[in-house]
Amino acid sequence: MSIVAHLPRRVLSLTEEEAASPPVMELTGRRRATSEERTVAETIYAEFRADPRHREFVLGCLNCGECTTGCPAARFYDFSPREMLQIAQNGDATTLWDAMQEKIWACCQCYTCNMRCRFGNDIAGIISVMRELSVIHGLESTRKVLAPFGRSLTLLMTVGTQVSSDMIQPDFFRDWGPFATGSDKVWDVGTDVMRRAIPSDVLHTTRSSWEVSVQTSLELFRIYEETGVLDMLRGLDPDLTEMLVDIIEERREEFEEARDRFRTELAGMHGPVATFMG
């Protein structure tokens, strides 16, 4: 008897019920997009192709692979700048959608691919455009990738710096060892004293990279409000956005109180301070 006779019998065609509800996985092993996802994918694709940066950044591809051979991310991830460029150039809504789920976040944004590209493509730039769209549309995969960034985004949006010494602490940066975090275990004093030992007063704060004046902070937030960044973030994390609005409201109050306190010194002031104080 042939070995084929021992194989289990299988249905070679789908029943009507199965055809109405296709399997979650496609034959390629890729998860099949839902109809909602397909709609979003089509929208993203249209926005991507319409972005004025697309025609500036994507110029062509020789398929030489110089970009990928020099790419740091390609050494450690299933990622290739050549693939990203070719998706940007010739891909469709599905391939773009797939790349945006994970691969775009492997890029190190080092611009090595740009420097090596004989066509002059801005590959790092077009990946940034894909990333922006994934944030704007609040993709679930993007939420997961950016979940650890709540603290640094809070700093960035409210004072315009990315890190603070009270953030870089041994509990969160264990792999950096005891010396790199201003830990009191090494010098027997707290982070506040370690910061005061830096010979510039603007660096003495532990809550930001440097002390940012309240006016500067408010001007920055105004930029975010007026250029759509706040709305972008609202789509990704509404709770975080509301918290940021509250923090800025407190800073506004602080600014108003200070204006009363320093009224005499500020009298006759001109330029941005006067404008800003209305």
Partner 1 sequence: MLSASEIRKVVEERTQRQKGTGKKVVDVREEMEHLEAKGEIIIHRIRPENRPVSASTLFGWTKRIPTDRLWHHKSCGQCGNIPGYPASLLWLMNETGRSYLNEPHQTSCTAWNYHGTATSNPVALAAVAARNFHRAYETDHFPLIHCGTSYGDYKEMRKLLVENATVRTKVRDVLRGMGRELVLPEEIVHYSEWVHAMTPELLARQKHSVRGIVATVHEPCHYYKMVPEDAVYDENVYAGQRPAVPSGILMSLGATVADYSTWYDCCGFGFRHILSEREFSRSFANLRKIRPMVDEAHSDVAITSDTGCVTTLDKSQWIGKAHGQPYMLPVLADVQFAALALGAHPYKIAQVHWHAASAEALMTKMGIDWSTAKAEFREYLKALKNGQAPELLHPAHPEIETYFAVNKGQVLPEEAPATAPAEIVANGGGGHPR
Residues 14-43 that bind partner 1 (CB under 8 A): none
Give, as ranges, the residues between 118 and 147 that touch partner 1 (CB under 8 A): 118, 128, 131-132, 134-135, 145-146
What minimum distance in Å lies between the beta carbon of 96 and partner 1?
15
One residue of 114, 154, 170, 245 binding partner 1 per CB under 8 A: 114
DSSP character at residue 119: T
Compute CA 175 distance to the chain's CA centroid, rounded to the nearest angstrom.
Answer: 23
d(CA 28, CA 24): 11
Among 87, 126, 233, 244, binds partner 1 (CB under 8 A): 233
Taken in order 197, 199, 204, 210, the sign of the CA dihedral is negative
Site for partner 1 in 258-277 (CB under 8 A): 258-259, 262, 265-266, 269-276
Among 101, 112, 121, 191, binds partner 1 (CB under 8 A): 112
* Torsion angles phi and psi, residue 31, rounded to 5: -70, 135
Long-range (24+ apart) CB contacts under 8 A made by 115-118 are 115/70, 116/66, 116/67, 116/69, 116/70, 117/66, 117/67, 118/62, 118/64, 118/66
Beta strands in 128-244, from DSSP E residues, in sequence order: none
The yes or no reply on residue 94 touching partner 1 (CB under 8 A) is: no
User: Taking the complex as a whole, how short is the minimal distance between the CB of residue 267 and partner 1, in angstroms?
Assistant: 12
Among 33, 40, 168, 245, binds partner 1 (CB under 8 A): 168
| Ramachandran angles phi, psi of 25, nearest 5° | -100, 140
Our finding on whether 76 is near partner 1 (CB under 8 A) is yes
For the record, the structure tokens of 70 come out as 């020099």
For residue 161, the minimal CB distance to partner 1 (Å) is: 4
Under rule CB under 8 A, residue 162 binds partner 1 = yes
The binder of partner 1 chosen from 61, 87, 153, 244 (CB under 8 A): 153
Sign of the CA dihedral with 5 first, then 6, 7, and 13 last = positive
Question: How far is Cα 133 from Cα 48, in angstroms, rounded to an integer?
Answer: 8
Choosing from 22, 111, 141, 249, the residue that interacts with partner 1 (CB under 8 A) is 111
Q: Which is nearer to partner 1, 26 or 219 (CB)?
A: 219
Sites for partner 1 among residues 169-228 (CB under 8 A): 173, 175-177, 179-182, 186-189, 193-204, 208-217, 219-220, 222-224, 226-228
| Stretch touching partner 1 by CB under 8 A, among 8-16, 39-47, 81-89, 250-258 | 250-258
| Half-sphere exposure at residue 205, Cβ-oriented, CA atoms within 13 angstroms | 13
Work out which of 41, 44, 58, 73 binds partner 1, going by CB under 8 A. 73
Which residue, 24 or 147, has its beta carbon nearer to partner 1? 147
Alpha carbon distance 146, 105 (integer Å): 10
Are 118 and 65 a contacting pair, CB within 8 Å? no
* Structure tokens, 30: 């890729």
Select 34 or 162, whichever has its Cβ closest to partner 1.
162
Between CA 249 and CA 230 the distance in angstroms is 14
